[in-house]
Amino acid sequence: MPFYETIHIRPQTQLHLWKIDEPLDYLIAGVLLQDYSLIRLHKLKSEVHQKGFLAVRHLLQHLGYADTDLTYDTSGKPHLSDGHHVSISHSYGFAAVAISDENLGLDIEAMRPKVLKIAPRFMDVDTHLTGLSLAEQLQKATIIWSIKEAVFKIKNEKGISYPNHISEQPFAPAEGTTVARLDFKHQTEFFPVHFIQREDYIFVCVFES
């Protein structure tokens, strides 16, 4: 399946999803890549990553952007030539691009039981998971992991610890929103969070304001 959905997260923020069902050859043939992208594509070792990388280019093409409209700074953060903020994520079966007039971070995660094993290492399990069914714990722990990755993509600073510096206001998954808090370098910042689920995947958008 090609283009999957556009979700209007905020008036000036759209989240675009691509479901990656196509063979690698099809994805390669369908986009025109700049030299930088060709080099990066060939450096990616796994087919899953190659497909994710190419699906992002298909999404951009679907939205009227050329591959040359996307550049990266030295940290790996992507930028669009027209000045819009962009954030990118890919995970197995989905690729996503969020485009906004606000600085934002996007993360996709597949809900996998492994997240519950490592949850005590990255989140406050007592606050967020107590009393929930196993399925609810899986969903919520995945949302929280994604929130932390998305906050990291906005802040982009070395030394941020997921368990020690990023926390989330208590929320129910059905609400679709919460607020993340970053306590780092003697400063506290709050980030509005929007999340949705499609199939077995969680999509999180976090805003700087």
**Residue numbers at the binding site for ligand COA (CB under 6 A):** 53, 56, 75-78, 88-91, 107, 149, 152-153, 156, 161-162
The Cβ of residue 191 has, within 10 Å, a number of other Cβ atoms equal to 22
Question: Shortest gap between Cβ of 133 and ligand COA (angstroms)?
Answer: 26
Strand-pair partners of 99: 14, 86
Looking at beta carbons only, is 76 or 131 nearer to ligand COA? 76
Question: Shortest gap between Cβ of 163 and ligand COA (angstroms)?
Answer: 6
Question: Shortest gap between Cβ of 157 and ligand COA (angstroms)?
Answer: 9
Round to whole Å and give the CA distance between 42 and 48. Answer: 13
Looking at beta carbons only, is 30 or 78 nearer to ligand COA? 78
The dihedral sign for the CA sequence 184, 166, 9, 54:
positive
Strand runs (DSSP E) across 101-157, as ranges? 104-110
Question: Shortest gap between Cβ of 54 and ligand COA (angstroms)?
Answer: 10
Torsions phi, psi for 127 (to 5 deg): -65, -40
Looking at beta carbons only, is 71 or 177 nearer to ligand COA? 71
Looking at beta carbons only, is 75 or 133 nearer to ligand COA? 75
Q: Which helix (H) or strand (E) holds 120?
A: helix 114-122
